[in-house]
Structure 1
Amino acid sequence: MSNGTVAKPKIAISACLMGAQVRFNGGHKQSQLCSQQLAEHFDFIPVCPEVAIGLGIPREAIRLVGNPQHPEAVGTVTPELNVTRPLAEYGQQMADTLGDICGYIFMQKSPSCGLERVKVYDHNGVPQGGGGRGLYAQAFCDRHPDLPVEEDGRLNDPVLRENFLTRVFAYAAWQPLRQKHLTRRDLIEFHSRYKYLLMAHNPVQYKALGNLLGSMGKTDPNELGPRYFSALMAALKKCATRGTHTNVLQHLSGYLKHVIDSEDKQEVQHLIGQYRRGIVPLVVPLTLLKHHLRQHPDPYLAQQAYLQPHPENLSLRNAI
């Protein structure tokens, strides 16, 4: 897939992660990964819901209290300060305003922005087990269930980072189809591009989605399309493993068996084996396969998102 044809994706992000001094103590939580390494590839849209609803800088910290499934956000010193409704309403408002984003990076552990395991206290001030989700994040994600979302801390894991950004670019690639009247050909061609990426992430859903489109019959593609895409994004959320990547690499190498000599075949198999055993990263066998595919182009493989699901200079596959 050529990412040169896709506009720089927009990603919303907690403003403190971009260095804005908007936290309750007047500080920030700048992420070097986001503010420097990723900023070249994405248009970041900073958002701080707590400032947006009128809380000052600095301000009294808030925390989640009550039922972990439906907590309230109240002041840590002044429990009468209750911003539950403003945070939820702002989340709904921004979900409508930011309709063209392709991902969201949230501040972890935040009572407004945390995605999971945010501390929720009982009314006696004792933390409850399990935790909850920030109220702004909850309201926003409820409106955009297919949107790729992640917390900043988890992006330090190379596998989770690659997974999130793969989903961001897949989401971005779907957006032009959302804006038009879908045809059956649109759906089949899109699915064809994502065949091997799906196989790497979720082999079971790869087969299920193929069956879904294969049996669409007279179903309106504009009714089927959103269902297909929701299932695709859910499938891609599952991280690919060395085992599933190896399976895809073997499939790709099969296209070369009649066009490269035995020595080159042995080299390809050797590097795939080294990757499977954790000796080399994914980029090593992929680079060799892409070299041979340039020498012996195949129109079907040339369109495969798996070969380049994100810009090469992000170097995401160098670390997995």
Structure 2
Amino acid sequence: MRKPLNSTTDGWLCGLAGVLIFSGSLPATRVAVLGLAPLFVTGARAAIAGALAALLLALFRAARPERGEIVPLIVVALGVVVGFPLLTALALRHVSSAHAIVFIGLLPLATAIFGVLRAGERPQPAFWIFSALGSAAVVAFAVRHGVDASPIGDALMLGAIVVCGLGYAEGARLSRRLGGWQVICWALVISLPVMVPLAWWTQPAAFDTVSAAAWWGLAYVSLFSMLIGFVFWYRGLALGGIAGVGQLQLLQPFFGFVLAALVLHETVPPEMIGATAAVIACVAGARRFGRASPVAAVVPRA
């Protein structure tokens, strides 16, 4: 018999593993779209991950979603399989990955809001104060350094954050019944009828003209960002609470900046580091003074 899900250290560790994996998403996407069309990257990553997901579901004979779970799974697919990858791929045509990573600081607040709206969580008032302060630090940085430079890129990133927060919260809510890896796998399979034709129609005219780096970037976002990372992330959100574990996303800009500097040789100005330090301090305060209410124990279906 499976152990009931509850708020434990395991949830935070799984969440941290997911954040570490996701930290490479924007740098890898940036590398991929330098040699491949954003629409192709979006379709191909979902098609590759979807094929692997279908194989996993068949091998483990996963239970099929119930009728009432189909619409929520479609919401997850629209948010994290289609919306976030597409909007970030388009945004990275206008801004650097280091710049885009700063917007990830808004994800904890977006995820927490949708956690309240969709999962019924009720964090304490202090939680919202620190979350809002952290988000304000990110927005202040974006207004000062990004909006004037590329309004289109920043608007696309803001849209990506909204749809991703919804997809995270909806997926975490479903994970308490279906299980984390089953949720992302079913969402990917649902997306296949759209994403496979998209990848086919937008494929490059000549594959041999695409750099190896672009293919490696596509491989990373297909295998890790689109599938493996979500296995850890949804489990972490389901075990530790959407609002609470979601605050770990404020560590993602820091890890992402390091990767952007090491892999892409992008310059990370002191202001970016300062903004990241501010939001990390805010999430620390949110954890100390605004702990979310505990998550009800449930057992995922076999």
TM-score range, shorter chain: under 0.3
Query: Which structure would you say has the larger Rg?
Result: 1
TM-score normalised over the length of structure 2:
0.25
If asked which structure has higher relative contact order (CA below 8 Å, sep 6+), I would say 2
Which one has the bigger helix percentage?
2
Structure with greater proportional strand content: 1
TM-score when scaled to structure 1? 0.24
